[in-house]
């Protein structure tokens, strides 16, 4: 495999200080549809065919810093085998693999970082 073909951006995950306040903003003020809650500290909002995932951060955001709070973004691929092929390609090219490839409830995932340390998820989901 020389490269992979993403079928879309599955989601963007944002770190938030207070999940309740973030849910009021995204669900209430912006009117995004809550798709599901994942425990106490994670909420998934659907915007058309895309998602924004809110996850409560372990450390508070300092408004004086330049830490902009995007946790990661996820690319959708068309089969679970592609997740494994991408993992092999990343290893061959000495790209940092954070987690995976591994199964989750409805699919398979891999977390890597780009050269600047931005986290990227390669994600296959059944019936996506």
Q: What is the pLDDT of residues 35-91, one digit of tens each?
A: 999 999 999 998 778 888 998 877 665 666 666 667 788 888 899 999 999 999 889
The architecture in CATH of the region 8-125 reads Roll (3.10)
Whether the CB-CB separation of 1 and 88 falls below 8 Å is answered with yes
The pTM of the full predicted model, rounded to 2 decimals, is: 0.68
The span from the CA of 126 to the CA of 80, in Å, is 9
pLDDT at 63: 62
The span from the CA of 56 to the CA of 126, in Å, is 26
pLDDT at 98: 94
pLDDT at 18: 86
């Amino acid at each position: 495999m020389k490269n992979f073909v993403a079928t879309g951006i599955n989601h963007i995950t944002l770190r938030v200080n207070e999940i309740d306040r973030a849910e009021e903003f995204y669900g209430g003020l912006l009117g995004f549809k809550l798709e599901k809650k994942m425990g106490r500290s994670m909420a998934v909002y659907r915007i058309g065919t895309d998602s924004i995932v809110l996850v409560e951060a372990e450390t508070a955001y300092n408004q004086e810093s330049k830490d902009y709070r995007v946790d990661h973004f996820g690319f959708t691929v068309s089969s679970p085998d592609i997740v494994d092929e991408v993992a092999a390609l990343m290893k061959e090219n000495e790209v940092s693999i954070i987690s995976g490839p591994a199964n989750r409830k409805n699919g398979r995932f891999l977390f890597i970082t780009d050269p600047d340390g931005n986290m990227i998820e390669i994600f296959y989901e059944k019936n996506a």
